[in-house]
Amino acid sequence: MRQGEFVYDSGALIAIDKRGADVLQRHERRVGRGNRIIVPAPAAAQAIRQPRRQARLMLTLRGCRIVAFDEESAGPVGTLLADAGQTDVVDAFVVMTAAKSEAAIVTTDAGDMRHMLDILGVDLPVLAP
């Protein structure tokens, strides 16, 4: 794993948006240490509901590298879903993004993330938000 890279899923973003003190502290520590936060665009889309009322989330996203779901992502994500017996495209894209970046995953769905990492044969940290 490259030092200081974290991929956030929608659950992590929603936890930040809800302003849980411990979640915000962990996020702020990561950012304060110069870590890079990566957010797959579909995960951001799942968390954004009312941007004008989600100032904390929108500010958080400004400091993140947003990764687009593109044509090159579709095949590998679909294959991972089939191999894992899963259906959540966003979760699979989070895992593929983390594997490609060799980054830790910050998620509220650790079980599914670990399962898909196992299917890929990749060992990365999976952390609570």
Judged by phi (left if over 0) then psi (alpha if -120 to 50, else beta), residue 107 lies in beta
Q: What is the pLDDT of residue 20?
A: 76
Each residue's pLDDT tens digit, 28-65: 999 999 999 999 999 999 999 999 999 999 999 999 99
If you average pLDDT over residues 93-122, what whole number do you get? 97
The domain locations on the chain are 5-127
Length of the chain: 129
| Cα 122 from chain centre | 16
Of 110, 19, 96, give the one whose Cα is nearest residue 60: 19
CATH class of 5-127: alpha beta
Judge whether residue 24 has pLDDT over 90: no
In angstroms, the CA 61 to CA 31 distance is 12
0.75 surpassed by pTM = yes
